[in-house]
A and B are shown apart, each in its own frame.
Chain A
Amino acid sequence: GQQVMQIPQYQHVQEGEDFTTYCNSSTTLSNIQWYKQRPGGHPVFLIQLVKSGEVKKQKRLTFQFGEAKKNSSLHITATQTTDVGTYFCAGRRGYKLSFGAGTTVTVRA
């Protein structure tokens, strides 16, 4: 079945630095979604990418969908303490989403 792998599992970042988290699928995805979960909270939708090579920005967050639609990345610039949490990618198959294991981000002030 479809598997979505995410790396790294943990990302420790100095405040103000940039980082990237990567998502790879074993199969071609029709689209990919990204969610953020704050500590103790529930996942919240961030964005959806549909087209091959698509790039979308939300303030300091840049999301990219690979040309082959099998990988995606999330790049955060000038990390802030508000960026703390776990970021999940999820590939859609029909009614279901297949979630990666997530990248948990901690920020050193």
Chain B
Amino acid sequence: NAGVTQTPKFQVLKTGQSMTLQCAQDMNHNSMYWYRQDPGMGLRLIYYSASEGTTDKGEVPNGYNVSRLNKREFSLRLESAAPSQTSVYFCASRTAGGPFNEQFFGPGTRLTVL
């Protein structure tokens, strides 16, 4: 049981390049989330998927797109990377029926845009 996995762990892009961050969970969770973490700003929600087949914008969606490929996988795409998107990106998942409904986080992707 791997929990939440993310690839890649590290990535360096040049301004204008595109890339997709991959996330998968093996806990049969319904909801999945993408956050970015910047110093002094906590975790800010980019997009989320409450259930398979649905996606919604969070606080900071501009410059990103997402795809809920199936119940396990939720990808985040940067179409044209900008230096302001340099950050640590965390994927998380959550089950609707658990006692705490806590979110389980992946190990993160550290992205630098030059």
When chains A and B are docked, how far (Å) is the Cα of A92 from the Cα of B44? 14
Query: What are the residues of chain B within 8 A of A102 when measuring CB–CB?
Result: 42
Q: Is A96 at the interface (CB under 8 A from chain B)?
A: yes
> Are A43's CB and B31's CB within 8 A?
no
Total interface residues in chain B, CB < 8 Å: 24
> Are A97's CB and B103's CB within 8 A?
yes
For chain A, the bracket of interface size reads 20 to 34
A positions within 8 Å CB-CB of B: 1, 6, 9, 33, 41-45, 48, 88, 90, 92, 95-102
**Shortest CB–CB separation between residue B94 and chain A, in angstroms?**
8
B positions within 8 Å CB-CB of A: 31, 33, 35, 40-45, 48, 50, 58-59, 90, 94, 100-108
Query: What are the residues of chain A within 8 A of B94 when measuring CB–CB?
Result: 95
Q: Which 4 A-B pairs have the closest CB atoms?
A: A45-B102, A101-B42, A42-B105, A99-B43
Contacts A/B (CB < 8 Å), 21 sampled? A1-B59, A6-B42, A33-B100, A33-B102, A33-B103, A41-B107, A42-B90, A42-B106, A43-B105, A45-B103, A48-B101, A48-B102, A88-B42, A88-B43, A90-B43, A95-B31, A96-B45, A98-B45, A99-B35, A99-B42, A101-B41
